[in-house]
Chain A
Amino acid sequence: MSKPEQFSNRWGIILASLGMAIGAGNLWRFPRLAGQYGGTFILLWILFLFIWSIPLLLAEFSIGKKFKNGVIGSYAQIAGKQYTWLGFFITICTLGIAFYYSVVTSWALQYLGFAVVNALDPIFSEPTLAEKLTANPMHLDQYWDFVANGNWLTIALYILVTIVGVFMLSRGIKRGLEKANRILIPSLFILLIIITFIALNMENGFKGLEYMFTINWSHFRNPTVWIEALSQSAWSTGAGWGLMMTISAYSRDNEDVTLNTFIGAFGNNTASLMAGMAVLPAVFALSASSEEAITYLQAGNQALTFTVIPKLFAYIPGGSLLSIVFFLALFLAAFSSLLPMIELFTKNLMDLGISRKKSAIRVILFFIIFGLPSAYSLDYFSNQDWVWGIGLILTGLFILLAVAKYGITKFKTELIDADADFKVSTTYFRVCIIANLIIGVFLIYWWMSQGYSTNPWFDDNGLWNVFDVYSNASIVTQWGLVLLIGFLLNKYLYDKFANKEEL
């Protein structure tokens, strides 16, 4: 029997966890929220790092390290045979995100190309981006609409990034994921330092910092700030996605859990702060007024990244270069997060006895088929982001339930503390697991009650409003289908993914 794959050392798994966590959300969601709600949001975001993200990441890391299977198999082994279907849901939820996340990666790549072309335009006596915007103020909005809807280049690029990602991973953990992260993560941090340095040296750039770090005490009474801080921590660190469980399945047998988790979590938040310190000073320095800057920040993730930032950079000397650096950083961040998502799928296929090389073609086909609608339609993309984004809170809850079922203290002592270079308090872990079970349920209720759809359950004709982008009916239908399929296939899933020795 061949030796199981594993990272060559501690740094391999730390880089993988950083690559998993640091993604597009650090560059496009965190700066937006930090600018809107300032230091109050950041303090709460740090609080929820300790309450929600770190305990969940500790749990995932320990489960992956212990059972060394893909998410379905590992979850079934920790939670018990009859709960295999919950592991199936975690897998499908993260894959639901992975399919459209490959499209986000392709957007970043397309805008990197766009930034390069804009930088080269003056050399070929073509109008600059600033001149194009003067002639047509809607130029960037039109370009974004062109990229996000029915664009064959977007489709070609998302297929390309998927193939490149799968090819890298087909080389194995050491020669693929570990090697890629050794280049991706340091490069990403260097690019973030460069943008931060340039942005902070802009005139009025400090205003952005002031907005970012000022604590407005009245914001503590605003529930939205609390929810956004918790959601950002949950989504950004990758806690509850099953990704850490997948990565740690390749950990060495005596790998430390706690210290590595803390490094990954704090590293992710460091990258977010750097992104905030890069984007916010630029937005505030280049906007006509603070009010205009705030309006830009409220435009939403995609609008801020793909229409506002290129516009702001278009009017400053060296802005075209800054634009290239920004989109290169966005691409590297998105790509480094896409790799573990692909690996999550690959690892589950390998649990079925399919070799890594043979899994590759299946993974590519699945990504092409299921990612295509998101690449073609922004509405479909938004629906998947809505359904599976909130689904991640549910997957977090499932992992918490598995820990609770195993026994929180037993889990902490046997799985987390074994081989630990330092230990956290068992009381802290126990309180967080129990509190998060309540917080998670509330969070799902809160997001679904926000009224993003005018008809969250039934349309004007009284029909189940399943095809509305932001409807609750769409969430319940898609979750329900996956849970039902998983439940019906529970025995089959357990036998195939968890009980392999007896086959």
Chain B
Amino acid sequence: MSTISIISMIVILTTIMGGFVYFLSIAIRKEKEKAQE
């Protein structure tokens, strides 16, 4: 794979899959906070 393809893959996967994991982690944190209240 060319360098540009690898960079593009990393950017795309990080944005989408990373975003998914990031938003999920916020939701998990919020639920924990609500459970503790």
Across the interface, name the chain A residue whose C-beta is closest to B20. Answer: A266
SS of B interface (majority)? helix
Pairwise interchain contact A39-B5, C-beta atoms closer than 8 A: yes
> A215 contacts which chain B residues (CB < 8 A)?
4-5, 8
Complex Cα gap A259–B28 (Å): 11
B contacts with A, residue count (CB < 8 A): 20
**Shortest CB–CB separation between residue A13 and chain B, in angstroms?**
11
Please tell me if the beta carbons of B17 and A270 are within 8 angstroms of each other in the complex.
yes
Q: Are A421 and B27 in contact (CB under 8 A)?
A: yes
- Closest Cβ–Cβ distance, residue B24 to chain A (whole Å): 6
Minimum CB–CB distance from A218 to chain B (whole Å) comes to 14
**Which of A153-161, A205-213, A287-295, A394-402 lies on the face that meets chain B?**
A205-213
User: Given A10-B31, A266-B19, A270-B16, are A422 and B26 also a contact pair (CB < 8 Å)?
Assistant: yes
Contact partners of B12 in chain A: CB under 8 A: 39, 42-43, 46, 213, 273
Q: How would residues 19 to 59 of chain A score, 1 for a CB under 8 Å from any chain B CB and 0 otherwise?
A: 00000000000000000000100110010000000000000
Inter-chain residue pair count (beta carbon < 8 A): 64
A267 and B20 contact, Cβ closer than 8 Å, known pairs A210-B1, A259-B27, A422-B26: yes
Neighbour of B16 across the interface among A256, A269, A421, A422, CB < 8 A:
A269
**Chain B contacts for A210, CB-based, 8 A:** 1-2, 5
Contact A46 B15 (CB under 8 A): yes
Q: Are B16 and A266 in contact (CB under 8 A)?
A: yes
- Tally of A interface residues using CB under 8 Å: 26
CA distance A210 to B27 in the complex (A): 34
Q: Are B17 and A273 closer than 8 Å at their CB atoms?
A: yes
With a cutoff of 8 Å between Cβ atoms, the chain B residues found around residue A213 in the complex are 1, 5-6, 8-9, 12
**Chain B residue contacts of A267, Cβ below 8 A:** 20
Interface residues of A in 253-302 (CB under 8 A from B): 256, 259-260, 262-263, 266-267, 269-270, 273
Give the residue name and chain of the A residue nearest to B9 (CB): A213
Q: Is the CB of A14 within 8 A of B2?
A: no
Q: Tell me if A214 counts as interface (CB < 8 A to partner B).
A: yes
CB distance from B19 to the nearest CB of A (A): 5
Select from chain A the residue with minimum beta-carbon distance to B18: A266
User: Is the pair B16, A263 in contact by a Cβ cutoff of 8 Å?
Assistant: no
Which residues of A lie under 8 Å from residue B1 when comparing CB positions?
A: 206, 209-210, 213
Task: Give the residues in chain B near A256, CB-CB below 8 Å.
Answer: 30
Q: B22-37: which have CB < 8 Å to A?
A: 23-24, 26-27, 30-31
Q: Give the nearest-CB partner of B33 in chain A.
A: A421
Whether the Cβ atoms of A421 and B30 lie closer than 8 Å is yes
CB distance B8 to A39 under 8 Å? yes
For A293-319 the 0/1 string (1 means CB < 8 A from B) is 000000000000000000000000000
Across the interface, do A46 and B16 meet the contact criterion of CB distance under 8 Å?
yes
Known: A39-B5, A214-B8, A215-B8. A273 touches B27 (CB 8 A): no
Do A263 and B5 touch across chains, with their CB atoms under 8 A apart?
Answer: no
Q: Report the bound CA distance from A213 to B24 in whole Å.
A: 25
Q: Given contacts A214-B2, A214-B4, is CB(A263)–CB(B9) below 8 Å?
A: no
A46 to B13, CA, bound (A): 11
With a cutoff of 8 Å between Cβ atoms, the chain A residues found around residue B16 in the complex are: 46, 266, 269-270, 273
List of B residues within 8 angstroms of A270 by Cβ: 16-17, 20
Which 6 A-B pairs rank lowest in CB-CB distance, beginning with the nearest? A266-B20, A213-B9, A39-B8, A266-B19, A270-B20, A213-B8
Known: A43-B12, A262-B19. 15 other contacts (CB 8 A): A39-B12, A46-B12, A213-B5, A214-B2, A214-B4, A259-B27, A260-B27, A263-B27, A266-B19, A266-B20, A267-B20, A269-B20, A270-B17, A270-B20, A273-B13
25 A-B pairs whose Cβ atoms sit less than 8 Å apart in the complex: A10-B27, A39-B9, A42-B12, A46-B16, A209-B5, A209-B9, A213-B1, A213-B6, A213-B8, A214-B4, A214-B5, A215-B5, A215-B8, A259-B26, A259-B30, A260-B27, A262-B19, A263-B23, A266-B23, A273-B12, A273-B13, A273-B16, A421-B26, A421-B27, A422-B26
